[in-house]
Structure 1
Amino acid sequence: MDSTVAAVWRGGEDIALCEVPVPVPQPGDVLVRVRLATVCGSDRHTVSGRRSQPCPSILGHETVGHIVAIGAGRARAVDGRPLRPGQRVVWSVTFGCGTCDRCRAGVTAKCRTVRKAGHEALDSDWGLSGGYARHVLLPHGLAIAIVDDDLPDKIAAPAACATSTVMAAIERAGHLTGRRVVVVGAGMLGLAAVAAAATAEASEVVAVDPNPRRRDLARLFGATEVAASLDADRNHDVLLEFSGSSAALQQGLRTLDVQGVAVLAGAVAPDSPVTVDPETVVRRQLSVLGVHNYEPRHLPAALSFLTATRTRFPWSELVADPRTLAELPALLAGPGGPSPRYSIAP
């Protein structure tokens, strides 16, 4: 295969379909035919100018596809199973070097030379990295996970970013069984966090979002209560913050009870500072933690979680029916839809 079709982002709202060369897979590389790519909010932020990345490039990092070719030698999934043509797979957003101090410490998402799927320059050695294309090249060493046959594409694709990030946030929060959990922001990540807390048998799961449609969805995903804003007179043991709103976080921190834990994952774009009272942190023995992206182990964990809960929660309702690559510019630049995720079937 000499070339494929991709939606190339050239800055602002300039996105055009182009023929892009397909490199010959090197030993251990995996070439994938994209089946479905969901539209993460961070790509919309890129197009609107709220976040920066190399340009031109191929966006898209929540992707499921099937393997069409593997470079010489063997390639294995993150769980050790051999990869072969025809398998459906998802892959990690981040690709660490494996040798720097952070990678050696197990924090590969913060590798000092990290590369990211859907974030690399078109003229780099990983130009075919984004999911808004017919094909993606997965370099040797990138974490890849095999998707079970009974998990639909619409459920599997968000595992590559949203669901795996939630798995990382839940891990940092610690055990949730019997604890009072509040989830701030009921978008794609927040709804997955609500479902994870409900599955872990938290004593209560309060979902907070000003959008009534999202509050309705939160109930379907296991929220015991929903609210448009935080109740300042109520205490929680765990705060999971996915809204990115400094005002909501400020209020949420005040609701944490003794030894409460706050995990922040939504603040991925600039907002106003948050004031933290050190005396309150000391006297209540609070923990404030951050999560950005996830580690390779969270990818199969996300797929296992989705498989185990696929009949309990309406995951497919979170992803709109797929559109074409030609329609992508309007989806990235236009207003959000009723579903948390648009999708593209190249």
Structure 2
Amino acid sequence: MPSKEMGTVAYLVEPGRIEFREYPVPDPEPGEVVTTVERANVCGSELHIWRGNHPEVKEGSLGHEALCRIDALGDGVETDYAGEPVEEGDLIAPVYYLTCRKCSACLNGQFHLCENVYEYWSRSPEEPPHFHGTFGTHYVIHQDQYFFKIPDGLDPGIAAGANCALSQVMFGLDETGVEYGDSVVVQGGGGLGLNAIAYANEQGAETILIEGVDGRIERGREFGVDHVVDFREYDTVDARAERVHDLTDGVGADVGVEVAGVPEAFAEGISLLRDGGRYLEMGNVTPGAMADFDPGLLTRKSVDITAVVRYDPWYLHRALVFLDEQTDAYPYEDLIDAEFDLMDVNDALQQSDSREITRATLLPR
């Protein structure tokens, strides 16, 4: 009897320490999909976990933003979650968390807040079926995990970024209600910020980027941002707020988007908005990181704050459609600016953390 194929997983033993473990690639259980990982991107969430800043995940399998190829379908799996037929060899993108559809959040229609999202994601690889994270050669999609087929003709390197970064900002901006003619100020020009610029552009908004890293400013301009506020030039909160007001006929932006991941950015954001503006908080995900804040200013300006974590799972399908339709409009092919072998995951994390690169991708094979 031939021996089972072996696969490799990057396992975060503790913050800052990664080990590689090998396990036999399993056969799928009913409702599961066993895949080969084609590429897995380094997202800000991996950096939070790797540093030890995630509030719940301190160890386990790493990786969640990925493109996978179907190796085997479990009994009962004939289509993706958009009803598209699937078969072995198809390229798919999995939603990185499961949705139980039975907890109180799911029963309220808030699938992105499912109480069981961490029941599968980032488990220890010692637990079968071992391949719980996408930083590995294989990945097993759980019975309660959405996944979607990649549109024919969409560049796989572009498609991998739909899961998490683009899906997240599409969901957040929709929740905030960005409309044609709005002015949108984006704090931070990383992957989330660039996707926010692109999606806001397509909604007919005028976009403003606040950033201070040359490469990110250049990339923001490539993604069609209308204005840049360089915080090296405008080096105080008051100076940046005044500049944003100057760019918006003296009233302030209609919408603010915090994707810098810096607590002080949230405190600053309120000053960038017009009275009655809307503010989307997505970047600060680590509880306990504090900033001074003026609640009276928030009240006097009557700003509406929307905070979101994750996204409703069908947004991944919307993100893939968006990428398929907008491939020629934005340089998504350049958004991944560094490729690493899976075994060089530490280098990928370190260079991403130091902002030497905008977004890294791991190539397991």
The bucket for the TM-score relative to the shorter chain is over 0.9
The Cα of 1:271 is off from its aligned counterpart by 2.3
Counterpart of 1:168? 171
The one-letter amino acid paired with 1:46 is: I
1:96–1:115 CA contact under 8 A, matched in 2: no
Question: Aligned match of 2:327 in 310, 319, 322?
Answer: 310
The one-letter amino acid paired with 2:345 is: L
Question: Aligned match of 2:289 in 260, 271, 290?
Answer: 271
The one-letter amino acid paired with 2:285 is: V
The Cα of 1:52 is off from its aligned counterpart by 5.4
Counterpart of 1:123? 126
The Cα of 1:299 is off from its aligned counterpart by 0.4
Structure 1 length-normalised TM: 0.93
The Cα of 1:298 is off from its aligned counterpart by 0.8
Matched residue SS, 1:115:
helix
Counterpart of 1:293? 310
The reply on whether 1:179 has 2:182 as its aligned counterpart is yes
> Would you say how many aligned residue pairs link Structure 1 and Structure 2?
344
Q: How many angstroms apart in 1 are the aligned matches of 2:280 and 2:128?
A: 35
Question: Aligned match of 1:66 in 66, 69, 88?
Answer: 69
The one-letter amino acid paired with 1:26 is: E
Counterpart of 2:108? 105
1:64–1:88 CA contact under 8 A, matched in 2: yes
- Kindly provide the CA deviation profile for residues 62-111 of structure 1, in whole angstroms up to 9, marking residues without a partner as x: 11011110011234322122322111111112212210110111212222
Q: Which moved more, 1:50-59 or 1:214-223?
A: 50-59
Listed as ranges, the gaps of 5+ residues in structure 1 are: none
Q: How many angstroms apart in 1 are the aligned matches of 2:57 and 2:269?
A: 35
Q: Which moved more, 1:256-265 or 1:313-322?
A: 313-322
The reply on whether 1:91 has 2:91 as its aligned counterpart is no
Q: How many angstroms apart in 1 are the aligned matches of 2:268 and 2:175?
A: 21
Question: Aligned match of 2:263 in 246, 258, 263?
Answer: 246
The reply on whether 1:227 has 2:229 as its aligned counterpart is yes
- Kindly provide the CA deviation profile for residues 8-46 of structure 1, in whole angstroms up to 9, marking residues without a partner as x: 221233223321233321111111111011111221222
1:102–1:112 CA contact under 8 A, matched in 2: yes
Q: How many angstroms apart in 2 are the aligned matches of 1:20 and 1:273?
A: 44
Structure 2 length-normalised TM: 0.88
The one-letter amino acid paired with 2:63 is: G
Q: How many angstroms apart in 1 are the aligned matches of 2:39 and 2:143?
A: 22
Counterpart of 2:234? none
2:26–2:129 CA contact under 8 A, matched in 1: no
Q: How many angstroms apart in 2 are the aligned matches of 1:119 and 1:92?
A: 13
Q: How many angstroms apart in 1 are the aligned matches of 2:226 and 2:57?
A: 43
Counterpart of 1:208? 210
Distance 1:56 1:240, change over 3 A: closer
Counterpart of 1:159? 162
1:205–1:225 CA contact under 8 A, matched in 2: yes
Q: How many angstroms apart in 2 are the aligned matches of 1:104 and 1:5?
A: 37
Counterpart of 1:188? 191
Q: How many angstroms apart in 2 are the aligned matches of 1:53 and 1:59?
A: 14
Q: Cα RMSD between the aligned structures?
A: 2.0
Q: How many angstroms apart in 2 are the aligned matches of 1:206 and 1:81?
A: 38
Question: Aligned match of 2:9 in 6, 18, 35?
Answer: 6
1:74–1:82 CA contact under 8 A, matched in 2: no
1:325–1:344 CA contact under 8 A, matched in 2: yes
Distance 1:141 1:51, change over 3 A: closer
Listed as ranges, the gaps of 5+ residues in structure 2 are: 232-236, 246-251
Q: How many angstroms apart in 2 are the aligned matches of 1:343 and 1:116?
A: 25
Identity %: 27
Matched residue SS, 2:266:
helix
Counterpart of 2:248? none
Distance 1:22 1:195, change over 3 A: same
